[in-house]
A and B are shown apart, each in its own frame.
Chain A
Amino acid sequence: MTSVVKTVNLVKIYQDGAVPVPAVRGVDLQVEPGEFVAVMGPSGSGKSTLVHMLGGLDTRTSGEIWLDGKRVDTLSESAWALLRRKRIGFVFQFFNLVANMTVGDNVELPALLAGASPKVARERRESLLAALNLTDRAEAAPAQLSGGEQQRVALARALANQPSLLLADEPTGNLDSRNTRDVLRLLGKVHKEGQTIVMVTHDARVASLADRVVSLFDGEIVDDGRIARRRTGTAGEVIDLR
């Protein structure tokens, strides 16, 4: 089975004037198809830099990046853009929606760009908007939406081209608990359907949906393991009232 993501001794060093600042220091990470990996760690530990490199939004200093069995760290900017359009969905903390397009078109566009037929793209748009409770907002402009709604649109957009890899950087950073619930539900659903996800998050509710947690510290992986679940009990058994 080909890994969706594989990095070999991945390094990123930023140059701050004359001072080199290592952000990622030799990361070997492998993500299998269908896996949901949460990337956690203190701020400045290199989490965002890592996922940005995986999506080609930041160049690596040294090391290798492989996506779906193909080496990609050597690709040109335009080849990356093509790859992202077809195979990668990206959600950021700030949503980067296209301001002069409706919510619905924002979601539909990536599917069309990735080569889906208009009919398929439309179906995809409708099912995603429905899953995120946004159907009645489809004709609105992004600016008319609340922050929580915009973030849900950004997630729908990232999933529209059915990417082989969904990358997310703090996707629930701006959401209140009700909006978070919708996002959680959709993430859980697409994960169950086999979506591979690599997500940077501080939100424990989101992270707890993952199969695996990778903890970064000082640019290195210090822990990589599965989340143990019990899946039993009522609230009374899980929560101890004193």
Chain B
Amino acid sequence: MRLHLLALLAKEPAHGYELKQALEQTFGSAYPSPNIGQIYVTLGRLEKDGLVRAVDVEQSNRPNKKVYYLTAKGRELLTVWVDEPTEGPRVRDEFFMKLVLAPLTGIADRMALISRQRRHYLGLMSDLNDLLSRTPPTDRVAILLIEGAMLHLQADLDWLERCQEDLA
């Protein structure tokens, strides 16, 4: 979450609760609602690393609030993050390891593993379908995220089929 918070702070200084709200507004139902405690812990670490700095803002009738802003070092790190290519979603696939190694143990055969995994993926796809139908069309970010997850799943299923052709 470190870089997500830095990105939000690059737009404008904010306090912890505002950052939580900004994440919720931007990602809608696509993002697990961030825990405020986690946000403060992360901000504390960013401050310690010199990536953000905090100022106390006095408020009448209430305790001071801490407003965070981005430092030059923070902006630099953010730029690096934005500029560098992002790793693909997975380098190692747990199921593939299982598929290759499990038959050696005599515990399971590949055909059974593939069949179970196919049904599992389809169950996940069904959840995503359901989710998509419940997501308002105005929530574009959430819809794109769900569609992205669906395309990944489709690729996993296609790959499963390739594994079946060549290994089973």
Given known A223-B115, A235-B29, A241-B31, contact A213–B122 (CB-CB < 8 A) = yes
Give B113 Cβ to nearest chain A Cβ, in Å: 11
Q: Are B123 and A207 in contact (CB under 8 A)?
A: no
Given known A213-B122, A227-B119, contact A205–B150 (CB-CB < 8 A) = yes
Q: Indicate whether A236 reaches chain B with its CB closer than 8 angstroms.
A: yes
Q: Are B158 and A205 in contact (CB under 8 A)?
A: no
Residue of B nearest to A38 (CB): B122
Residue of B nearest to A203 (CB): B154
Interface flags for A222-242 (1: CB within 8 Å of B; 0: not) read: 110111111111111111010
Report the tally of A-B residue pairs with Cβ distances under 8 A: 105
Interface flags for B117-161 (1: CB within 8 Å of A; 0: not) read: 011111111111111000100000010011101100110011001
Q: Are B121 and A204 in contact (CB under 8 A)?
A: yes
Total chain B interface residues with beta-carbon distance under 8 A: 39
Q: Which of B119, B145, B161, B165 contacts A225 (CB 8 A)?
A: B119
Q: Are B130 and A231 in contact (CB under 8 A)?
A: yes
Interface of B is mostly: helix
Given known A42-B164, A233-B127, A235-B142, contact A207–B122 (CB-CB < 8 A) = yes
Chain B residues 24-46 with CB under 8 Å of chain A are 27-33
Residue of A nearest to B168 (CB): A217
A241 to B124, CA, bound (A): 16
Residue of A nearest to B135 (CB): A235
Q: Are B129 and A205 in contact (CB under 8 A)?
A: yes
Residue of A nearest to B31 (CB): A236
Q: Which of A222, A227, A241 contacts B122 (CB 8 A)?
A: A227
A210 to B32, CA, bound (A): 29
Given known A42-B161, A207-B122, A239-B145, contact A222–B127 (CB-CB < 8 A) = no
Q: Which residues of B lie under 8 Å from residue A225 when comparing CB positions?
A: 115, 119
Q: Are B127 and A213 in contact (CB under 8 A)?
A: no
Q: Indicate whether A141 reaches chain B with its CB closer than 8 angstroms.
A: no
Q: Indicate whether A96 reaches chain B with its CB closer than 8 angstroms.
A: no
Q: Which of B28, B145, B150, B162 contacts A204 (CB 8 A)?
A: B150
Q: Indicate whether B111 reaches chain A with its CB closer than 8 angstroms.
A: yes
A225 to B123, CA, bound (A): 12
Give A133 Cβ to nearest chain B Cβ, in Å: 14
A226 to B119, CA, bound (A): 8
Q: Which residues of A lie under 8 Å from residue B123 when comparing CB positions?
A: 208, 227-230
Q: Are B157 and A234 in contact (CB under 8 A)?
A: no
Q: Which residues of B lie under 8 Å from residue A177 when comparing CB positions?
A: 147
Sort A-B residue pairs by CB-CB distance and give the 5 closest, nearest first. Answer: A223-B115, A236-B32, A208-B125, A208-B126, A235-B30
* Beyond known contacts A228-B123, A241-B145: 5 more, CB 8 A cutoff: A213-B119, A228-B119, A231-B127, A234-B29, A235-B146
Q: Measuring CB to CB, which residues of chain A are less than 8 angstroms from any residue of chain B? A: 38, 40-42, 177, 184, 202-205, 207-210, 213, 215, 217, 222-223, 225-239, 241
